Amino acid sequence: MGSTPFRVAVIGAGASGIAAGVRLRQAAVAFDIFERADDVGGTWRDNRYPGLACDVPSHLYRYSFAPNAEWSHEYSPAAEIHAYFRKVAGDLGVLDHVRLSNEMETAEYVGDGLWRVVTSQGDQGLYNAVILATGILHQMVLPDIPGRDSFAGAAFHSSRWDQELDIASKRVGVIGTGSTATQIVPAIVDQVASVSLFQRTPQWISPVPNNAFSEEKKQQFRDHPQKMGELYAFLNDVFNNRFASALVGANDEALAEMARACRENLENNVHDPDLRRRLTPDYQTGCKRLIVSDKFYPAIQKDNAHLVDTPIAGIEPGGVRTKDGALHELDVIVYATGFDPFAFFRPAVITGRNGVTLNERWKDSCQAYRSVAVPDFPNLFFIGGPNSPIGNFSYLRTAEVQIGYAMQLVRMLADGKGREIEPTREATETFNAEVSEAIRHTVWATGGCTSWYFDKQGNVVSWPWTYARFEADLGAPRMDELKVA
C-alpha cells in the first residue's frame, strides 16, 4: 500500500463490533465499522417485542471495561441494553468510526495482505485486515407452514414486532416455545382477548425472578465501583465456569442440580396434571438453551391462555388449522421461531485466496480454526465464529476473548511482522477432529434433543470443552499453527 496507513474493516456495529472498535482505538489502529442498519446495537436494536429481557444477569452481560451502575433489573430489558451499547460506543469514541446504512456485499482478498470491501454504498477501498462481527442471531427464520402468506390478520416475526399494532382485545397466536415465546406470553396475556401458544417441543424452565435493583443498591455500585467488579467475577464463575462445565460433562453435580430445580419448578407451579404433562420435556435439562422465567407458568395457566401442542397442518385466512382439524381463530400471528445461527456474514460473499468463497468452503459444514479464522482467508477474523461458546452465559465475554486474540495478530500485521496471517490447514483439521470427538460427551449430543446448536448436517457447533479452556486456548496465538508471510 506504499504510504497508505494500515487500517482494519470491522463488519457489524452490534455488541462485538463495538468492542472490537474499542480495542482498535486503544491500540491506535485505524479502522472503519460498516453497519447495515441506521443505528448501532445489533440484536438489541432489532428486537423490540413485549417482555424482552436478557437471560444473562445484567452485571455479567456487559463489557469488562464498561461497568454500569444504572441497570434497573437483575436481567436487563432490551431498551436499556441498546442504550448501554450506544453510550459505550459514544463515550469511548467508536461512533465516529461507524458507517451506518453500509451493508457489506463483498469482501475479496486481492493479495499482498489486502482485502477489498464493497458495501451497499459502493467500493470502500483496501484494508489490511477484516474483523467479522456480524453476530449469530440476526437472520430470522420463518417456518415452512402451508398457507403462511394467506393469513388475513397481522403476522410478523418477533424481531419485526409491529410497534403500531394495538393488541388489546385481540386473539393472538404465538408459534414457538423458546426464550422469545416464553417472554412474550406473560407480557401480553393480560392485554389480549386470548393467546394461543403453538408448541412443538416443551422447554425446561429455571424459575429465576427478575428483581429490580433498589436505588440504594445502585448508589452502592456508583460509590463503590469495585463491587460491580466483584459481582462480575462471581457471575462469571457461576455461569462461564460452573454452568458451562455442566454442559460439557465436566460438572455432573451442577447439571443434576439444574435438572432438579427445573423439574421442581414445573411440578410445584403447574397445577393441572394434564397441562403439566404436556409441558414436560422428554430430553435432558441443558440440551436446549435453558429458559429463565418465573412468569411463564403462571401466564400459561390463565383462563385466556391456551397451550396448543397438536401439530400445525396449515395457516388459513382465519387462523391456524391443526392436524386434528380444529381451526384456531386469530387476529394476530407472531412467529417466535428464532434465527439461523449459521448465517454468520451472509448474504454477503467473502472470497479468499485463489477465488474460493467462504460459502463454498462452508457448503457442508461451518468449520474454523479455534472459532476465529479459516485457512486461505488471510487476515480475516471471526467474532462469534463456528464453535464459539454459546449457551446461557455472556456472549460479551466470549467476544472479548476472541477480540483479544485477533488483536494480537492485528498488532503483528500493523507492526510489519508479516503481511498475511492465517491458520494452517493441518491445525484447522486437527482442531475440528478434536471438536468432533469432544462434542460426543456433551449434553447437546447425549441429551436427546435437537436445537439451534445443530447445523444442517447434525453437527453441534459449539465449544465442547470448559470455558476456562476457551480462554486459555485463545489467550495467545500458537505460532506453530499459523502461516505468516
Q: How far is CA 466 from the centre of its chain?
A: 19
Domain end among 335, 352, 373 = 335
- The verdict on residue 244 lying in a domain is no
Q: How far apart are CA 28 and CA 368, in angstroms?
A: 28
Closest among 343, 379, 346, 369 to 473, alpha carbons compared:
369
Same domain, 72 and 156: no
Same domain, 95 and 186: no
CB atoms within 10 A of CB 461: 26
Q: What is the pLDDT of residue 38?
A: 97
Q: Which residues contact 6 (CB under 8 A, 6 or more apart)?
A: 29, 30, 128, 413, 414
Residue ranges making up the domain that contains 65: 7-139+340-484
Report CA-CA distances (Å) from 425 to 288, 403, 430, 432. 32, 22, 9, 11
Same domain, 170 and 102: no
Same domain, 36 and 185: no
- The verdict on residue 255 lying in a domain is no
Give the HSE-up count for residue 399: Cα atoms under 13 Å, Cβ half-sphere: 27
Same domain, 154 and 301: yes
CATH number, domain at 158?
Answer: 3.50.50.60
- The verdict on residue 18 lying in a domain is yes
Same domain, 64 and 189: no
Q: How far is CA 428 from the centre of its chain?
A: 24
Same domain, 107 and 55: yes
Pairing mode, if any, of strands 482-484 and 421-423?
A: antiparallel
- The verdict on residue 220 lying in a domain is no
Q: How far apart are CA 182 and CA 294, in angstroms?
A: 10
Closest among 354, 355, 412, 360 to 381, alpha carbons compared:
412
Same domain, 448 and 378: yes
Q: What is the pLDDT of residue 3?
A: 53
Same domain, 22 and 113: yes
Sign of CA dihedral 69, 70, 74, 79: negative
- The verdict on residue 326 lying in a domain is yes
- The verdict on residue 239 lying in a domain is no
The sheet carrying 171-175 orders its strands as 154-157, 332-335, 171-175, 194-198, 305-308
Per-residue confidence in pLDDT tens, the chain, 485 aa: 445 799 999 999 999 999 999 999 999 999 999 999 999 999 999 999 999 999 999 999 999 999 999 999 999 999 999 999 999 999 999 999 999 999 999 999 999 999 999 999 999 999 999 999 998 878 899 999 999 999 999 999 999 999 999 999 999 999 999 999 999 999 999 999 999 999 999 999 999 999 999 999 999 999 999 999 999 999 998 887 788 888 898 889 999 999 999 999 999 999 999 999 999 999 999 999 899 999 999 999 999 999 999 999 999 999 999 999 999 999 999 999 998 878 788 899 999 999 999 999 998 889 999 999 999 999 999 999 999 987 767 899 999 999 999 999 999 999 999 999 999 999 999 999 999 999 999 999 899 998 878 877 888 888 999 999 999 999 999 999 999 99
Same domain, 432 and 358: yes
Domain end among 319, 335, 351 = 335
Amino acid at 162: D
Domain end among 300, 315, 335 = 335
Q: What is the pLDDT of residue 2?
A: 45
Beta bridge partners of 108: 116, 351
- The verdict on residue 253 lying in a domain is no
- The verdict on residue 261 lying in a domain is no
Same domain, 74 and 13: yes
Pairing mode, if any, of strands 98-99 and 380-382?
A: unpaired
Q: What is the pLDDT of residue 239?
A: 85
Q: How far apart are CA 149 and CA 403, in angstroms?
A: 42
Omega into 389 within 30° of 0, i.e. cis?
no
Sign of CA dihedral 286, 334, 37, 75: negative
Sign of CA dihedral 343, 66, 53, 459: positive
Sign of CA dihedral 110, 121, 159, 333: negative
Same domain, 133 and 169: no
- In the chain, the number of structural domains is 2
